[in-house]
Amino acid sequence: MALHESQRTSLYIEAIEKLERGEADDLLTLLPPSVSEADGIGRALLSLARTLRSERQRQQHLDRIINQINAGLLLDEILENTYRDFREIIPYNRIGLSRIEDNGQTVRSCWVKSDQAPVRLRKGYAAPLEGSSLQRIIETGQPRIINDLEAYLRAKPRSASTRLIVAEGMRSSLTCPLIANGRPIGFLFFSSVEPNTYDSVHVETFLQIAERLSLIVWQGWQASELLAQKEIIEQQNEELERLNEIKNTFLGMAAHDLRNPISVIQTASYLLEEALAALDNEQWNFVVGEVFRQTNHMLNLVNNLMDVSLIESGRLELEIEPLSLADVLEEAVRHHAGLAESKGSTVILEKVPAGAVMADATRLRQVLDNLISNAVKFSPGGSTVIVRVEKTADHWWIGIQDEGPGLSREDQEGLFQYFVRLSARPTGGETSTGLGLAISRRMVEAHGGEIGVESEAGKGATFWFTLPLETPTGAAKE
């Protein structure tokens, strides 16, 4: 039914008032089709109402996405949410985040996710900001569209980042600046495998949420850095507690292990001073030998404590040089032959393959002395200790096999830690500081090698370690 002019005017006035109040949906039901078709004012009002409703729905959609993204606390969570939810408003196969560092001098990639493999422009990639095309994006605050990355690369063949992204299969990109609290903090890169993917609609969409998204990312960065700092502090506290425990153990062990030798030396000194004339040769030799043994034990303990101090303080320095492994092993075996013979045992060195080892001569000998002496100490009299060597493409394997009581599973746990005492004891009454294996482990690891043991209770043990081969002449160095 046709409306009178006064009725239409009244409806238009009511419609305009609803628009002022943001009630576009009500307007669509207020104006009947007959009104909208009657004149241009009605059609314009309906068109405006539809546009406003569409824009409001779009804004609600963006708000929902931003709220979903903001549900994450740490940066990785935020970016994972971004990658999951942004596809509804901006097309992409890849999203990358870069951060501005060094007081605005450097742009560094800090997060990448793509459904294409492999990723070539990886986390950690850095480039100067000054003079780059990204600097212009920061200056204008406007996103940049490149809808033909291959053509862009032909025009700028020196752009390493473009070359990498093209190699990933990307053909178009939308680069968006992130500006939080008025300060540029980085860039969000959307990339697609299809050319001509992006247009002004995507730019407008990003600009609508840019400020909120930038702030969310910045807060995520801050939270992640705080968490990382907290973890570092916790690790440092744990390390301090560990070092304090080692220090206290040192003091207790030093007091215990040094008191007995000192008492023996005092007694021997008294005998030498007060009863020298009454000692026959056998007694004299025993007293002097005991003084030597006890002072040697104290010296060994002090040397071990000094090595632990160097290791734990990070002051251990190695003088790496090519050494003849055969020569080093032969000398070590000869050195321990006397101790083995005193127990009726032998130490055998199997044939050593030709070649050199990259090592510190003193520290390598220290490891060998510890492992061979342990093998002799913990094996019964009349045993055979075998030292064998294998050579692989990139390292040496050295094993010391004994005929001792072997190691239970419990003994093997924490075997290479400080102050570990095994259930088995030396068979000839020899002494042990409980530090040798732990020091050996750290010496081997400082060389870039590994150390371990193969053993079963009652079946002896083979302690082994690896060391790098000599670097071939003319080999490239990194």
pLDDT in tens, 58-115: 666 666 766 666 665 567 787 888 888 788 788 999 999 999 988 899 999 999 999 9
Angstrom distances, CA of residue 99 to CA of 3, 111, 183: 63, 9, 12
From the CB of residue 55, how many other CB atoms can be counted at a distance below 10 Å? 11
CA atoms within a 13 Å half-sphere pointing along the CA-CB vector of 465: 28
H, E, C per residue of 309-352: HHHHCCCCCCCCEEEEHHHHHHHHHHHHHHHHHHCCCEEEECCC
**Cβ(173)–Cβ(203) under 8 Å?**
no
**DSSP-assigned letters across all residues of 70-137:** HT--SHHHHHHHHHHHGGGTS--SEEEEEEEETTTTEEEEEEEEESSS---S-TT-EEE-TTSHHHHH
**Cβ(174)–Cβ(198) under 8 Å?**
yes
CA distance 89 to 473: 59
Say what the pTM is. Answer: 0.46
Residue owning tokens 């690896």: 466
pLDDT in tens, 325-344: 999 999 999 989 888 898 89
Which value, in Å, is the radius of gyration of the alpha carbons in the chain? 39
Average pLDDT for runs of 10 along the chain of length 478: 58 64 58 54 64 63 65 72 82 93 92 93 93 92 96 94 96 94 92 96 86 80 78 85 71 62 66 61 68 66 71 81 93 89 93 91 91 91 94 93 88 79 59 76 92 88 90 36
